[in-house]
């Protein structure tokens, strides 16, 4: 059954997720900071909202897919924010990657306003977003997951309900920590091996797809081989996620020495101008010589 849905955030991921909802017949109102990114969707029948609040008016479910907590806060609570536009009982599904305490803060704000809330960050990048094969890591009440499920099933192929509000973001922190640390571990192994005279091709052949490296790296083989890193998941976003991990670890009182060293390697890569390339480009900042 078609639902009335608001969608805020039409970047690489959001635009593809929204297109899938539209294709499935949902009644979609969209908002984005720059309207240009909405044009294709508008041409396919989506409605334009002039503000976050306008995108929220009258919808059953509002979906946000933004880059970071500050951006989410701005459209939610800033001027013409959507928390003011939603009807009582409406459901906000935040698919952005944010820290768990931020999710809980937003959940609390919804509670006080008589709104419902799910944190539902996604696993998967551009390709899966396009094919509707994202995996959702969801935190919130069972009933709210049930409300959102028809939409999540259109945008993705798996929903893991991890627990109460914040649990989706919690699991997302864990997975992106593994993503970042796995990438840097492989990068350091690669530069060590190359420095010892082993050809990069040999290292890639021996190490990717085997039991020494995580599966998510196998798909990056051509990138490492060619030294060109067409973006799937931008390095600067993973750097941002590692900063959220740092904040989160401080809040929960755990110590993550290698995660912080990893974060700073991404920081170096970003300073070196690799922020908009795929995160696997992190290897280059350790591989290249000179240049400080």
Interacting positions 233-262 with a copy of itself (CB under 8 A): 239-240, 243, 245-250, 252-262
The answer to whether residue 284 forms part of the interface with a copy of itself (CB under 8 A) is yes
For residues 1 and 151, give the distance between their C-alpha atoms in angstroms, rounded to a whole number.
10
Residue 16 dihedral angles phi and psi, to the nearest 5°: -70, -40
For residues 63 and 129, give the distance between their C-alpha atoms in angstroms, rounded to a whole number.
15
Give the position of tokens 């820290």. Answer: 99
Min. distance of Cβ 99 from a copy of itself in angstroms? 10
Among 165, 173, 204, 235, which residue sits at the site for a copy of itself (rule: CB under 8 A)? 173
The answer to whether residue 269 forms part of the interface with a copy of itself (CB under 8 A) is yes
For residues 250 and 284, give the distance between their C-alpha atoms in angstroms, rounded to a whole number.
30
Min. distance of Cβ 194 from a copy of itself in angstroms? 8
Min. distance of Cβ 18 from a copy of itself in angstroms? 26
List, in order, residues 6 or more apart from 257 with CB less than 8 Å away: none
89-113 b/e with 16+ CB inside 10 Å = b? ebbbbbbbbbbbbbbbbbbebbeee
Enzyme catalytic residues: 172
Which residues, 174 to 203, sit near a copy of itself by CB under 8 A? 174-175, 177-179, 181-182, 184-186, 188-189, 191-193, 195-198, 202-203
Binding residues for a copy of itself, rule CB under 8 A, total 78
Stretch that binds a copy of itself, among 16-24, 89-97, 146-154, 269-277 (CB under 8 A): 269-277
Among 55, 167, 235, 238, which residue sits at the site for a copy of itself (rule: CB under 8 A)? 167
Closest among 21, 37, 78, 32 to 55, alpha carbons compared: 32
The answer to whether residue 72 forms part of the interface with a copy of itself (CB under 8 A) is no
Beta carbon nearer to a copy of itself, 48 or 175: 175
Among 1, 36, 43, 215, which residue sits at the site for a copy of itself (rule: CB under 8 A)? 215
Residue 80 — left, alpha, or beta (φ > 0 → left; ψ -120 to 50 → alpha)?
left
For residues 40 and 10, give the distance between their C-alpha atoms in angstroms, rounded to a whole number.
11
The answer to whether residue 166 forms part of the interface with a copy of itself (CB under 8 A) is yes
With contact defined as beta carbons under 8 Å apart, do 110 and 130 qualify?
no
Beta carbon nearer to a copy of itself, 95 or 265: 265
Which residues, 123 to 162, sit near a copy of itself by CB under 8 A? 160, 162
Among 11, 27, 37, 213, which residue sits at the site for a copy of itself (rule: CB under 8 A)? 213
List, in order, residues 6 or more apart from 272 with CB less than 8 Å away: 284, 285, 291
Beta carbon nearer to a copy of itself, 60 or 241: 241
Which residues, 74 to 103, sit near a copy of itself by CB under 8 A? 100
The answer to whether residue 44 forms part of the interface with a copy of itself (CB under 8 A) is no
With contact defined as beta carbons under 8 Å apart, do 118 and 148 qualify?
yes
């Amino acid at each position: 059954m078609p639902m009335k849905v608001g969608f805020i955030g039409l970047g690489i991921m959001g635009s593809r997720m929204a297109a899938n909802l539209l294709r499935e017949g949902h009644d979609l109102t969209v908002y984005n900071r720059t309207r240009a990114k909405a044009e294709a969707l508008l041409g396919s029948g989506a409605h334009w909202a002039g503000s976050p609040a306008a995108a929220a008016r009258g919808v059953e479910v509002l979906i946000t897919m933004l880059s970071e907590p500050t951006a989410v806060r701005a459209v939610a609570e800033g001027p013409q924010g959507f928390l003011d536009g939603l009807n009582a009982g409406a459901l906000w599904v935040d698919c952005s990657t944010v820290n768990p305490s931020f999710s809980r803060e937003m959940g609390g704000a919804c509670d006080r306003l008589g709104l419902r809330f799910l944190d539902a960050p996604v696993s998967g990048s551009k390709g899966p977003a396009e094919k509707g094969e994202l995996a959702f890591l969801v935190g919130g009440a069972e009933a709210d997951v049930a409300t959102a499920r028809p939409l999540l099933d259109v945008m993705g192929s798996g929903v893991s309900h991890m627990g109460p509000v914040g649990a989706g973001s919690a699991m997302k922190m864990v997975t992106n920590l593994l993503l970042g640390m796995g990438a840097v571990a492989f990068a350091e192994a690669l530069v060590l091996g190359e420095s010892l005279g082993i050809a990069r091709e040999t290292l890639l052949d021996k190490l990717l797809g085997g039991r020494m490296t995580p599966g998510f790296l196998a798909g990056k083989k051509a990138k490492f081989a060619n030294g060109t890193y067409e973006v799937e998941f931008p390095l600067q976003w993973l750097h941002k996620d590692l900063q959220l991990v740092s904040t989160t670890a401080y809040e929960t009182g755990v110590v993550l020495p290698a995660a912080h060293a990893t974060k700073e390697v991404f920081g170096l890569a970003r300073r070196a101008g690799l922020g908009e390339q795929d995160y696997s480009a992190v290897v280059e900042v350790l591989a290249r010589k000179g240049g400080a």
